[in-house]
Structure 1
């Protein structure tokens, strides 16, 4: 059988107050740090017993050893000829702290992937089977980068933007001229409100970039500053090839001496590709380090598809036997046969109840983040993983909550996308059902839209959130192996990480449907105001239902209003003074005044073209006739500016649809807080 000659390359880029640290640690390290925005390849994945996997493990371990050496750079190679490549390694205390768990984290969230890119708080990690050294990755496109926003906001946006552009342009130019590909500095900047006298900045590229490529990368980010951070007192854009940062306090770094000229080359004895690299006999001569392990492996690889089942806890008394059997039919035999997949490390980690009780101080009220219809969510800290997490504790008395628990584990454990909340693990024991997620420090979107204690969410952040949610739905509907119908898209299920990146969560109501497959019976559940009216009447939930909910959320984000709002123009003595946000915005759209619907708290500080595009796409998605709604790909294309917005009728159309013949044969129903449910069909 023909075989591929594969190249394994791993680079970890750490941004530590502007220093880029590149390294990795071995898999045996107990500390695991999960990335925020992993991008995992799905084509040609490696298997657990493949030579590629062995090379990857060796690579991670060897890079860690290289990073532990003296100096800013070290050179480590494995293999000869085409297999010999280099990667930069910079040593710093904060780098090592991040490296203690980053590689294990990326392997955990991207199992089997031949290429992975991931963001962490203090680092960026990458590995691939193709060399990307000395290349300007993703060009200078700032939309690919990870963005960090700082507050408070400044009053004088014009002065800030002018000073920031002059400073960062100077740093970008000088950084490209230095051997270290790094420069920092400051310019006078007075803000009486914040009591500051200077603006500080830093610009840096990976040192393998050519000077011109470094300047091009940084200049692309500088050009994006005014759009991304219109009035922020600080911000950072972290890409895979360059990084810049600015704020109103000093950036304290110690620059290393420039690298000394390399010594004359000396002959080396040949070594087999699989041998461990020998430590250098003298300090490393240049800012470079890395490792490549070449191998010949088969071209066929396997993705293990996660399956989930959980043992029922309601089989204790004969009087509850009927209910237990019903649950078993709906949920499957929980964790009977397929739990082995999780135990083998192919899915989320299974925790012991005691671990999670300790992490949450025995689920104390001080750790409670919130409470829903089917249980409570607690903040916890897992010492073994050195990780802050959110732990959902399903109510023991909630039958629907138990069903959602099964669905959540079964579906979200198989999904990998930067805009989906990551399920880290689960616990089923001692009568408890617990789900462990990555912690979202900024909570849910609805808090930032409506809480009196939260500041006004600026438009650039809102626009990024819109694009993030769209990206998540595109993955769920079209890019994963099956179509995932979420069925409960709303701001309270959209979480925000430390950098305000949007992540869609709560898959308890989600259903899987094969692409192109007809409908099958399931349970309709969602929240009033976000539910497709046709779905409520005809009993058919599908991808178009999600698109409708997405449209309502877009209008909420743009207008800062809830989906069911007061109609001040058509008040009456009966309860008819409520109007849906789609109807309200559509009326303004028909009169050519759609921008009047924009959130007044923004004080006009938004891009008019972006605002109008978001609202028009929101109306398009919330069209009463689901056959005239866009696919999520079409909607995202318009939001990204890749296609023109649609031309909609001046008046909101009146929907005309009838329930199917057998729609009224389904009579069972259940109601939970903020949601309703009834039997229906699900299609994609």
Structure 2
């Protein structure tokens, strides 16, 4: 498949930005980007990641963009990979995904140029200096928009793209606090003749599914797991790897499961939220969707399209048995797992409970 070839947009125009034909990336000059970032100064640094740092840049035309400096070797193989990935990602257009505007491969470093989000990343609003700013509706919108963006990457784009590193710092917020998934530098394509890839680890422990963190097995369900962890963080305002002083040494996923088993969903809610701002049933629904996404077996986790359907639904689906989630300790890479279910039902029942949702 020639991924750089132009193609006509499918019928779901409401979810896609841009014209009727998708264009390739713009090639920027290294000297212009160096000047636009004030020589990649610390004052313009927006964030740091395993695959490179991101800088705020003001172009000659006055437009503000984000420049990602990739920390990869510029071998012939790396250059080919870079060029292919840029061609692919420049064709990804969706309201809940950060737009890749261009690239630069003619300089001492490989650079990607993205649209700039002034509100920065979700983690700042959950755990940082802006904690307590987001109300329940805004959090609900972020949960839904993130699911919709991932569903597009997995099932609606013309090839399946697995992000690999979904976490709150990779979810940016636009001016209306709608989510935009960022950092496709870790994304790889899933071959059509394989159910999973065996690959080196490229995610963030605490968010990453155990089959990927421990065995390098990659599928779309890795993103589903990470999404479930993010949902719990949005609801609770607690980091996935953080142990609160008022708990008995439990990580967020363990805490959420115990509260779910005891019917105490409301105790998980971020204390900065106004109790009049949300309904108990809405909280229960979000927690159960998160736990559905973090089940031990990838086969039991729903697809992201199924999650979008669940988030839109208002029916009685909440009594389905779930298997206990798995958590990989970020310090010691230990797996915390239990094969029990919340109701004593078999895991095959959980599979059946998900399969009834339409994937399209």
TM-score normalised by L of structure 2:
0.78
Structure richer in strand, relative to its length: 1
Which residue is 1:392 aligned to?
A: 68
- CA distance, structure 2, for counterparts of residue 434 and residue 515 of structure 1: 29
Tell me the secondary structure at the aligned position of residue 285 of structure 2. Answer: helix
Indicate the residue corresponding to 1:582 in structure 2: 253
Q: How far 1:632 sits from its partner (Å)?
A: 1.3
Q: Which residue of 2 aligns with 1:600?
A: 271
C-alpha separation in 2, matches of 1:553 and 1:506: 16
* 1:319-358, Cα deviation, whole Å (9 max, x unpaired): xxxxxxxxxxxxxxxxxxxxxxxxxxx4110001122122
Q: Which has the larger radius of gyration?
A: 1
Distance in 1 (CA, whole Å) between partners of 2:72 and 2:300 is 43
What does the per-residue CA deviation read over 1:117-143, in whole Å, with 9 as the maximum and x for residues that have no partner? xxxxxxxxxxxxxxxxxxxxxxxxxxx
Q: Is the 8 A contact 2:228 2:290 kept in 1?
A: yes
Task: Determine if the alignment matches structure 1 residue 497 to structure 2 residue 169.
Answer: no
Q: Which digits, 9 at most, give the CA deviation of each residue in 1:69-98, with x for residues without a partner?
A: xxxxxxxxxxxxxxxxxxxxxxxxxxxxxx
Name the counterpart of 1:110: 19
Change (3 A) 1:559 1:648: farther
Deviations 1:397-456 (CA, angstroms, capped at 9, x unpaired): 799xx6895675254222111111000011112312111100011001001111135542
User: Mean Cα displacement is larger for which, 350-359 or 560-569?
Assistant: 560-569
Alignment map for 1:87-486 (pairs within 5 Å): 109-110=18-19, 112=21, 346-384=23-61, 386-395=62-71, 409-486=86-163
> Is the 2:288–2:318 Cα contact (8 Å) retained in structure 1?
yes
1:595 CA displacement: 1.4
Match of 1:611 in 2: 283
Q: Which runs of 5+ in 2 are unaligned?
A: 1-6, 12-16, 334-360
Structure 2 Cα separation of the partners of residues 531 and 429 of structure 1: 34
SS at match of 1:552: helix
The answer to whether residue 297 in structure 2 is matched with residue 620 in structure 1 is: no
Question: Could you tell me how far apart the structure 2 residues matched to 1:453 and 1:501 are?
Answer: 16
1:505 CA displacement? 0.9
Q: Normalization by structure 1: what TM-score?
A: 0.43
Secondary structure of 2:180 counterpart: strand
Per-residue CA distance 1:290-324 (angstroms, 9 max, x = gap): xxxxxxxxxxxxxxxxxxxxxxxxxxxxxxxxxxx
Partner of 1:128: none
Aligned in 2, Cα 1:516/1:618: closer, same or farther, shift over 3 Å? farther
Contact kept, 8 Å, 2:154 with 2:162, in 1: the verdict is yes
SS in 2 for 1:550: helix
3-state SS of 1:429 partner: coil
Q: CA deviation at 1:534?
A: 2.7
- Alignment length, in residue pairs? 314
